[in-house]
Structure 1
């Protein structure tokens, strides 16, 4: 074999190895993050199980996302300091315990407490994404992040489908029990296949956290990306947190399985993720973010006109998820280039803002829905999109780096 043939063969093997690792990281991200979305199509079930606390069921998805934001702030930065593989396994162990508590919850307050813990520990996904950026060559970073984010988005969307199906036939408690089994299987695969990561910081824990504030102050692009991402995810969450309630009432009268099936429709957004990553690598992320904001705005206009139309809701979900996912990939591709030795911390800043936005969206949905109905939810979603547009467009592109 010639030297060139040997080089080509080695490169091909390296590409296959990288694809395999990225697929595993995508699976880790998807399985982990699914746990913070299992509860969204189950709100009507929680009301039936805990009628005395029915007015508080909206707190379950809200505290789960707040827990996720807290977990990112407190746990995700450790990926710069310690081996990410070990952190992932430790968090899986803790989340299995929290899921067992949720499965056996005798009251809504216990379920809310368990949901908070699930949110904190589900930040496993935020070890997987910067791990992908570390493993991939710079020219392929956007594509690598897009591939792992595809897994994450599939986890977000198909979580609702899986939860709706399981709850329909086995009850909502079985949803959390099944997740324990899935996580234990995944832990075995991680032990066998995932390599260790190399820490890039020796800072003590306190200084590691403080350094994130310095990054926020130093990098305008990080601040802009964080607010844009948070506003778009708030819009995303206000829709998904209220959808099950819309479908449960007239004229649909559909159960959690139907609400969950919308996750399959939304999975179209996951297919757009690698493409968005490639475009971000080639043309820069800002133009893609602009298009994404327009798509999300269109989706809420469609939603507002579709309070009684399944077809309209389906169309809106496809547009919404493609727009949100493309913006997410472009934002992350952008921020990972800012400080390569601190990707976990840069990712933490961005994702904390992102999921605070998600929790805000869920909370606003719980407030707006009883008073203003579906039109109110659609208008609130558009307001969040407007915030994203203002933040993204208020600065010239050259000033935002």
Structure 2
């Protein structure tokens, strides 16, 4: 499940380091390609709302296999796109199905024994975290080696393999919920009104995912311009620093089961906030930048596991609709951060951008006390 979540999530980020290459290939502007790729996050939010609740209503193995199959087709079609409009439409479909990671975490949370729920969630969330980072790394490296179209075909082939794997390995057991699919979708907005735990978790999660995406999108802009002028591959390799977050999620999950979510969230946010402040002045030193990125990603990923475990615990027998509602708000914050990062760097500079990132993390910590 963790490996499948990593692959599904990574498809959303594969072309991010290669925007300049895509623009040149399609004889378009980089800004136009950026707008087209923004269809991915928009589709992802739709997938969170519409597709994730399906795993409670129908056999998870078939639902997840179907999403990976559509991912494979959409990625292969994107590789043949002849213009940014077609690429944007197919990217939206890819984004919707890349929400499969949230479906996998919902299934894992439902099947896990109560004393180890956060630990199990940490393992699957580690896969999602790995996908966010590996998508950029693999996308940048493969684009430089074989081109962006062949890169998408590689991702498509992997999704086809995992689709078959879901049918064979994911338990087909449905949840015990009596809600029909349409009733589940209509109930999502009301969950925020009824459950304060969900409301607070979603707001603080959106704040720190805004901070996370602002930093990474802004960093890509800074490093692609003078005095750095790094290639897509080199920019993608900076994401290797975030691999620490994969280990942080597993440790955070086990610690949450023992010490409670609040302590883990506050510690993670304290580490990430400090790193955000320091990275505003560290880009001239590659080593210092990498250390800051390690601490930043590890802190936020640890907070995410603990925060999400409180959401899945609201109704352990049918957690997908709560996870769906949470992730929609969470990803709205991330989408705003992705768009804001590039603009903020251009208008305010890197140091001011990182100060805003630290402020968003501080606001999330305030809601965790």
TM-score normalised by the chain length of structure 2? 0.95
Q: Does 1:113 align with 2:113?
A: no
Aligned to 1:5: none
The aligned runs of 1:28-39 (5 Å cut-off) are 28-39=4-15
Aligned residues of 2:246 and 2:298 also touching (Cα < 8 A): yes
1:197 to 157, 160, 173: 173
1:22 corresponds in structure 2 to none
Q: What is the rounded CA distance, in whole Å, between the counterparts of 2:23 and 2:348 in structure 1?
A: 21
1:91-112 CA distances to partner (integer Å, 9 max, x unpaired)?
A: 1121122112221121222222
Is 1:99–2:78 an aligned residue pair? no
1:14 corresponds to: none
Pairing of 1:5-44 with structure 2 (within 5 A): 25-44=1-20
Distance between the aligned counterparts of 1:328 and 1:58, measured in 2?
27
What is aligned with 1:45?
21
Contact residue 61 and residue 170 of structure 2 kept, 8 A: yes
Cα deviation, 1:19-40, whole Å, max 9, x if unaligned, reads xxxxxx1011111000111122
The secondary structure found in structure 2 opposite 1:267 is: helix
Out of 40, 45, 70, the residue aligned to residue 64 of structure 1 is 40
Give the corresponding residue for 1:236: 212
Match of 2:189 among 183, 206, 213: 213
Q: Does residue 98 of structure 2 align to residue 122 of structure 1?
A: yes
Does residue 382 (structure 1) correspond to residue 358 (structure 2)? The answer is yes
Distance, in Å, in 1 between the alignment partners of 2:191 and 2:157 is: 39
Question: Which residue, out of 155, 164, 169, partners 2:145?
Answer: 169
More off after superposition, 39-48 vs 97-106: 39-48
Give the number of the structure whose alpha-carbon radius of gyration is greater: 1
User: How many pairs align?
Assistant: 369
**Correspondence for 2:223:** 247
Q: Secondary structure at the match of 1:307?
A: coil
- 2:244 alignment partner in structure 1: 268
User: Which residue number corresponds to residue 162 of structure 2?
Assistant: 186
| Alignment RMSD | 1.7
1:138 to 114, 125, 129: 114
Which residue is equivalent to 1:10? none
- The answer as to whether partners of 1:295 and 1:320 remain within 8 angstroms in 2 is yes
Gaps of 5+ in 1: 1-24, 394-401
Matching residue of 2:318: 342
Following superposition, the deviation at residue 81 of structure 1 comes to: 0.9
Contact (CA 8 Å) 2:62, 2:167: kept in 1 or not?
no
Q: Name which of 276, 288, 294 aligns with 2:270.
A: 294
Q: C-alpha distance in 1, partners of 2:203/2:33?
A: 28
**Aligned pair 1:328/2:304, yes or no?**
yes
Conserved 8 A contact 1:200-1:342: yes
Superposed CA deviations along residues 173-207 of structure 1, whole A, max 9, x for unmatched, are 22211101111121222233222122322323321
Whole-Å separation in 1 of the counterparts to 2:33 and 2:78 = 14
Could you tell me which residue of structure 2 aligns to residue 11 of structure 1?
Answer: none
Residues 1:281 and 2:257 are matched in the alignment: yes
SS where residue 340 of structure 1 aligns? coil
Closer/same/farther in 2, CA of residues 369 and 237 from structure 1, 3 Å limit: same
Query: Once the 2 structures are TM-superposed, how far is the Cα of residue 51 of structure 1 from its aligned partner?
Result: 5.1
Match of 1:354 in 2: 330
Say if 1:48 and 1:372 are closer, same or farther in 2 by CA, change over 3 A: farther
Q: For 2:33 and 2:282, locate their aligned partners in 1 and report how far apart those are by CA, in whole Å.
A: 25
Where 1:126 maps in the other structure, the secondary structure is helix
